[in-house]
Amino acid sequence: MRICFVCQGNIIRSPLAEHIFLRLADEKGVVEKYLVDSAGTIAYHAGEKPDRRMRQAAAERGLVYSGKARQFNRDDFDRYDLIIAMDNANRRSLQSWAVTTEQQNKIHLMREFDPQGKPNLDVPDPYYGGPEGFVSTFEIVKRSCEGLMEALEGEQYSP
């Protein structure tokens, strides 16, 4: 299963989701079943490391990660089975780039998998806020990744 998590700049939410999901897969002993990546709908931060504040909030919760931001491109529709947008604005961007119904059907919102959320809720972007926003975003993404893993491993979801 090839999964790409997508936010706007690929420096906060989507790389966090990528690394939380990989950690969950590793803990469950199923990491070999997944190819996981992340991308942004804009290229503004391409080549940059994930946001320092998000990495700090994650490290305080036992998750250390790195990587470099990249922009989502149309070829990614063919590379991935599941494309998960962090919010409705990025979902709309992805939908506008999708050419076929098959590509459209690959696009989902992260909080569809959040047991405490509702299907159309956004994962909030904490970029302009304080530290509490990064903690809240971490918790939402973690729950959502756990829900996604449960759906995939429980075969409740099949692309």
Among 4, 7, 37, 55, the active-site one is: 7
Residue 57, judged by CB atoms within 10 A of its CB (0-12, 13-18, 19+), counts as buried
Biggest distance spanned by C-alpha atoms of the chain: 42
Single-letter amino acid, residue 109: L
- 3 state SS of 9: coil
Among 13, 55, 70, 111, the active-site one is: 13
- 3 state SS of 78: helix
Say whether 7 is catalytic.
Answer: yes
Residues 6+ positions from 16 with CB-CB distance below 8 Å: 50, 54, 58, 65, 137, 138, 141
Number of H helices, E strands in the chain: 6, 4
Say whether 75 is catalytic.
Answer: no
Say whether 145 is catalytic.
Answer: no
Q: Is the distance from CB of 106 to CB of 74 less than 8 angstroms?
A: no
Among 37, 51, 122, 125, the active-site one is: 125
Q: Which residues are catalytic?
A: 7, 13, 125
